[in-house]
């Protein structure tokens, strides 16, 4: 960190990851300069801009560097009390949008997200997951570097309890090479959750179950906590909960889905665009903070992490229960009905509980009472996973 910045001081913003040409142009080369990726390669996440913090220098110092190279794009700054978005065109600040009680540009230790794009009317930030089938994940931006947690070493229930006590606004995400889970928190409570794997989407309880995998001892991937301003997280919650708003409100505050992506509004003023694929006509979503906080909170499932990976096989009694030629078949049908027979047949195939639930169109939580009854009556036995 002994490079010289645009004003001649001998330090630079701290970042992580591989250095690239833009960082060198900014005078940010060296072992700590980077263009950060949202998560490691293979998770399906999109490339983010330059993520870091200004260290001992102020945001004004960073802006001086950007003016010197006539940089165009969006600079999101977070000082611990709030966030401000600066729209840059050829090094000049064309517009600024304060989200929350952002204090001052001359303060040090400011976290930032610098996204390069052509001069535009509205600030732009990239989507966290541009290829996702979930509108929520495609509309989700990153305002500042995340707090990275250690999968397998984190007590997830304790973390969620602490976030609840702190009335945290933001999202908790867990991504591996094949799947991703995101929980959206408003006022400390999880109000929406999405899980995506193999192009299939799950929400609510099943998404929380997938997020719970981050607490397993052998968990791999990235577990990240992102703070988001209410001006961003409330519209996202409205989108996730499907709370539409009139298209012609004069002082609209919320999220607009349009042909090229997602546009955030505050009191009729657009302050951020997240460009991504969308479908359908232009539409708007909005929800007051009080209404969001009245929405039911999503909880982690009672079952331990990995419960959905258990497998079962039919016992001799279970096979007899499915054989129409036996007396047990008649009594089983009388006691459990066609639904019980369907579940016993599916569970006896040896697939994981998660895949069985997907095949039957059930949530795992709804399947658990059936499993307990069938296992308790000697119809099923658990198969050890090697």
Number of domains in the chain: 3
Q: Are 151 and 268 in the same domain?
A: yes
Residue 356 token pair: 């069985």
Alpha-carbon distance of 23 to 369, in angstroms, equals: 56
Whether 9 has a pLDDT exceeding 60, the answer reads no
Residue 28 inside a domain? The answer is yes
Confidence of residue 116 (pLDDT cuts 50, 70, 90): very high
Residue 360 token pair: 């039957």
pLDDT tens for 286-318 read 988 888 878 889 999 888 777 888 899 999 999
Q: Is residue 23 within a helix (H) or strand (E), and if so which, with residue range?
A: helix 21-25
Q: Which of 93, 116, 139 represents a domain boundary (last residue)?
A: 116
Q: Are 151 and 295 in the same domain?
A: yes
Rg (CA), the chain: 25
Confidence of residue 94 (pLDDT cuts 50, 70, 90): very high
Q: Are 357 and 280 in the same domain?
A: no
pLDDT tens for 232-255 read 999 999 999 999 998 887 899 999
Task: Select from 55, 1, 35, 248 the least CA-distant residue to 142.
Answer: 35
Alpha-carbon distance of 347 to 374, in angstroms, equals: 10
Question: What's CA 198's distance to the chain center, in Å?
Answer: 17
Residue 9 inside a domain? The answer is no
The range of the structural domain enclosing residue 353 comes to: 307-383
Whether 161 has a pLDDT exceeding 60, the answer reads yes
Q: Are 297 and 313 in the same domain?
A: no
Q: Which of 257, 279, 301 represents a domain boundary (last residue)?
A: 301
Q: Are 88 and 181 in the same domain?
A: no
- Span 177-184, average pLDDT: 94
- Span 179-198, average pLDDT: 95
Looking at per-residue pLDDT, the higher value among 141 and 42 belongs to 141
pLDDT of residue 322: 94
pLDDT of residue 201: 92
Q: Are 20 and 132 in the same domain?
A: no
Confidence of residue 17 (pLDDT cuts 50, 70, 90): very low
Q: Which of 116, 136, 164 represents a domain boundary (last residue)?
A: 116
Q: Are 19 and 111 in the same domain?
A: yes
Q: Are 226 and 246 in the same domain?
A: yes
Question: What's CA 111's distance to the chain center, in Å?
Answer: 20
**Vertex 347: Cα angle to 344 and 353 (nearest 5):** 140
**CA distance between the termini of the chain:** 49
pLDDT of residue 16: 45
Question: What's CA 235's distance to the chain center, in Å?
Answer: 14
pLDDT of residue 107: 94
pTM, two decimal places: 0.80
pLDDT of residue 224: 97
Percent of the chain having pLDDT more than 70?
87
Q: Are 133 and 232 in the same domain?
A: yes
Residue 247 inside a domain? The answer is yes
pLDDT tens for 197-221 read 988 898 988 899 889 888 887 888 9
Alpha-carbon distance of 96 to 274, in angstroms, equals: 17
Tally of CB atoms within 10 A around 133:
13
Q: Please, what is the average pLDDT of the chain?
A: 86
Task: Select from 301, 277, 133, 344 the least CA-distant residue to 209.
Answer: 301
Residue 149 inside a domain? The answer is yes
- Span 21-46, average pLDDT: 44
pLDDT of residue 219: 84
pLDDT tens for 121-150 read 999 999 999 999 999 999 999 999 999 999
pLDDT of residue 44: 57
pLDDT tens for 312-360 read 999 999 999 999 999 999 999 999 999 999 999 999 998 988 889 888 8
């Amino acid at each position: 960190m002994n490079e010289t910045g645009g004003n001649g001081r001998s330090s630079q913003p701290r970042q992580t990851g591989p250095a690239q040409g833009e960082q060198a142009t900014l005078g940010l080369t060296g072992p700590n300069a980077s263009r950060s990726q949202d998560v490691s390669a293979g998770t399906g996440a999109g490339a983010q801009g330059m993520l870091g913090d200004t260290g001992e220098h102020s945001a004004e110092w960073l802006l001086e560097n950007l003016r010197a190279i006539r940089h165009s794009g969006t600079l999101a700054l977070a000082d611990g009390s709030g966030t401000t978005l600066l729209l840059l065109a050829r090094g000049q600040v064309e517009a600024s949008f304060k989200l929350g009680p952002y204090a001052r540009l001359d303060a040090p230790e400011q976290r930032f997200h610098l996204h390069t794009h052509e001069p535009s009317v509205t600030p732009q930030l990239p989507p966290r997951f541009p290829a996702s089938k979930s509108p929520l994940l495609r509309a989700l931006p990153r305002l500042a570097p995340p707090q990275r947690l250690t999968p397998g070493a984190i007590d997830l229930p304790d973390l969620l309890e602490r976030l609840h006590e702190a009335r945290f606004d933001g999202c908790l995400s867990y991504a591996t090479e094949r799947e991703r889970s995101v929980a959206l928190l408003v006022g400390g409570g999880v109000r929406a959750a999405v899980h995506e794997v193999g192009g299939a989407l799950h929400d609510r309880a099943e998404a929380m179950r997938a997020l719970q995998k981050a607490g397993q001892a052998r968990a791999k991937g990235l577990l990240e906590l992102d703070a988001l301003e209410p001006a961003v997280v409330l519209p996202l919650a409205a989108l996730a909960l499907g709370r539409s708003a009139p298209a012609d409100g004069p002082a609209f505050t919320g999220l607009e889905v349009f042909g090229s992506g997602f546009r955030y509004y505050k009191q009729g003023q657009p302050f951020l665009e997240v460009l991504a694929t969308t479908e359908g006509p232009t539409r708007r979503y909005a929800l007051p903070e009080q209404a969001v906080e009245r929405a039911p909170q999503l909880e982690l499932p009672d079952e331990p992490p990995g419960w959905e990976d258990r497998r079962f096989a039919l016992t001799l009694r279970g096979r007899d229960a499915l054989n129409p030629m036996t007396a047990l078949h008649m009594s089983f049908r009388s006691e459990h009905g066609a639904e019980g027979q369907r579940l016993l047949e599916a569970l006896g195939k040896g697939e994981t509980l998660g895949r069985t639930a997907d095949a039957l169109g059930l949530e795992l939580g709804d399947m658990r009472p059936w499993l307990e009854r069938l296992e308790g009556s000697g119809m099923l036995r658990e198969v050890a996973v090697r």
